[in-house]
Chain A
Amino acid sequence: MNKKKNLLRNDAFQSLIASVICILLGLLVGYIVLLVINPEGAGQAILAVLKNYLNFPSAPAAKKYLGGTLVSFAPLLMCSLSVLFAYKVGFFNIGAAGQYVVGAAAALYTAIAFEWNWVFCTIAAIVVGLIWGAIVGLFKAYCSVNEVISGIMLNWIGLYLTNSLLSQVKDPLTPYTYNLKDVNPSAKIPSLGLEQLFSNNQYVTIAIPMAVVMAILIWIMLDKSRIGYELKATGFNKNAAKYSGMNEKKNTIMTLAISGGLAGLGAAFQYLSGIEQWATTQTSVPGMGFNGIAAAFLGGLSPIGTIFSSYFIQHITNGGGYVDKMVYCSQISDFISAIIIYMCGFVFFFKLWLNRMLDKRDEKKGGNN
């Protein structure tokens, strides 16, 4: 009994329960919507979303599509780390979406126009993302501009700049940028044999393990290092941090710059894997950064938890492609993701309520003894 109480009191465990409840509610609402659209195939459709690559009966095909999910999992993980890192220091980096966009511009432009090697393209993406994040930080530190608002503005500025820059390196016949495979194969992140594990899925690269390593590094940085401690202290109480000798302006800019760099790296992972070309006619900011917000909160704002939540979000996003297109549409997984992130808003209240219940129970027990 005592043991169980301790487990329920554990914050990490509470986060886990909360996330599982969010997911279940998201799936339930998604299922109800499917039922309303067409009751006959609803069960099958929600299973198709959940099964994703397992929809393929043959093992090699399933492995190949698992690889496909993992390819986009890597950038999503980076975006959610970007959101998480800033949030731990007290900033809501909604600008991750735009930092991802300009990262894509840098990666693809240097790859196609300058024919750089993938290492330099990746660095370019990080640096540009870093700068885009630092702008938010500068505005915050020196002009007290709310980071959410400047982030939103920079998302759109980034989108229009990226569209116009990448128009110079696009295929004249389509709105898409050139395929890296045709113009500069050296810009593609290498796979070092990793693709063989996934039935030679050509898009599987070392970006996937690199993203996981980054998650662990962020965890170490935030939880085990002096700088992480300082940053978190700044987020917890800006004035207290200032009076104990920490440079809060510098910390603000640095946090948002690192956060932007992570999102930029995410873009390099996506676009330098070759799985996607940039459509220069895009009229809205790609959802990757916003999904990053979902994954960060679903992962209980822990870098390690984020690895699992990012995978889950990407898993159902890809799974949406397998519903019966004649009856339903693939956006059902966006719908489920959106419900899940909405539910994440209630986690704080849920924990409060859970702790209050536990307190009450303990009080009762105390009285009986």
Chain B
Amino acid sequence: MTILIQYTLIFAAILILVALGGCYSEHSGVINIGLEGIMVMGAFGGALVMQALDPGIPGILMIFVVMLVAIVFGMIYSLLLAVAAIHFRADQTLVGTAMNMLGTAASTVAVRAINSADDPNNVSSALSYGAQKAAFTKMIGSYELNLFIPITVVILIIANVVLYKTKFGLRLMACGEHPQAADSVGINVFVMRYAGVLISGALGGLGGIVYITTGVSEWKFEYGVAGFGFLALAVMIFGQWKPTRIALAALLFGLFRALSNVYIAFDVLTNLNIPGYMYNMMPYVVSLIVLAFTSKTSRAPKAEGIPYDKGLR
């Protein structure tokens, strides 16, 4: 049972981080389909620095450095979307798709180059960080707490407060609802949209490194992040673009994801004879059904996906 809770919480934490990223980007008016690619890039940066760090350094320092690097990688990568979507009015779905392809391809090429530069016989696309990863968890009795869970809770609270209680958050949301109106009262729509996309880059990158350090001690970058970015997108929609609901949705989806990993350990579940792929598929099916019922009254930001054109004011 503990293992199920453990997995559910950590998967939920990752989904919360990435979905909050998507939520900020969409509230500013930019659709971010490229979250998957951003996660890969954050994971790549984080894993790179983890591999290089000495496992003996204090845990708090390790967490701080790894988080920082993953966030910076995610933010830099998200600039690709920001520049194309905000300045060049590119099709945001197209750019996002390109970023997903690019994230996996670029990190694979880079990791392989780094590996074979160290050792000419090493042509794998994996980075390993088994010893360094120990800093991320703390034993509380028999329960192994992943420190990113409390970190995520803090981020969730901050994200909620910033979005609804600060000038910045309200202005950001205005740019996703009616950018022309926002502009007319002196809000710089371009700056706000940059902020939205960069925040999604930061949170997506962080989610990426947490994802690949969960359960395993090395990661093959050929696999990307196996659709987790898309799952986060589903969480965001299921959560109707609201941080608190996103957290609840993430817990539900995290549970499904955890079940697909550990259902064999439960006699009750194995007796039900539900094949493993069903647990993997369930989050997508559930969100599709929910979408069918909620889309007509959807709370999606009204101007998302539409490039801002001052001439239309």
Contacts and interface: CB of A to CB of B under 8 A. Distances in A.
A329 B93 contact: no
B281 A160 contact: yes
Contacts, number: 157
Contact of A339 (B100, B102, B231, B285): B102
B4 interface: no
Most buried by A among B31, B105, B112, B287: B105
Given A297-B94, A335-B105, 12 more contacts: A92-B91, A94-B93, A144-B296, A148-B33, A148-B93, A150-B288, A153-B287, A153-B288, A164-B277, A325-B123, A335-B106, A345-B95
A150 B295 CA distance: 11
Residues of B contacting A: mostly: helix
Nearest to B91: A345
A346 interface: yes
Interface stretch (A115-123, A265-273, A280-288): A280-288
A339 B99 CA distance: 9
Interface in A244-297: 283-285, 287, 290, 293-294, 297
Contact of A346 (B84, B116, B284): B84
B96 to A, nearest CB: 9
B28 interface: no
Interface of B: 31, 33, 80, 84, 88-91, 93-95, 97-102, 104-106, 108-109, 112-113, 116, 120, 123, 125, 222-224, 226-227, 230-231, 233-234, 237, 275, 277-278, 280-281, 284-285, 287-288, 291-293, 295-296, 298, 300
A139 B95 CA distance: 24
A342 B116 contact: no
Nearest to B125: A329
B236 to A, nearest CB: 10
Contacts of A241: none
A69 B231 CA distance: 34
Given A326-B123, A342-B84, A342-B98, A156 B284 contact: yes
B84 A284 contact: no
Interface string A91-126: 010100000000000000000000000000000000
A157 B226 contact: no
Contacts of B94: 92, 293, 297, 341, 344-345
Contact of B101 (A149, A154, A334, A348): A334
Given A153-B234, A153-B288, A293-B97, A334 B104 contact: yes
Given A143-B291, A157-B288, A164 B275 contact: yes
Contacts of A337: 101, 105
Interface of A: 33, 36-38, 92, 94, 139, 143-146, 148-150, 152-157, 160-161, 163-164, 283-285, 287, 290, 293-294, 297, 325-329, 331-332, 334-335, 337-339, 341-342, 344-346, 348-349
B99 A329 contact: no
A163 B89 CA distance: 38
Contacts of A284: 223-224, 226-227
Nearest to A346: B88
A335 B291 contact: no
Nearest to A146: B295
B120 A326 contact: yes
Given A139-B291, A143-B291, A160 B277 contact: yes
10 contacts: A94-B93, A139-B291, A153-B285, A156-B231, A160-B280, A329-B109, A329-B125, A331-B125, A335-B102, A339-B102
A294 B93 CA distance: 12
A153 B284 contact: yes
B275 A345 contact: no
A323 to B, nearest CB: 10
A143 B295 contact: yes
A293 B95 CA distance: 11
A346 B125 CA distance: 31
A222 to B, nearest CB: 19
Nearest to A138: B292
A331 B281 contact: no
A157 B285 contact: yes
Most buried by A among B94, B278, B288: B94
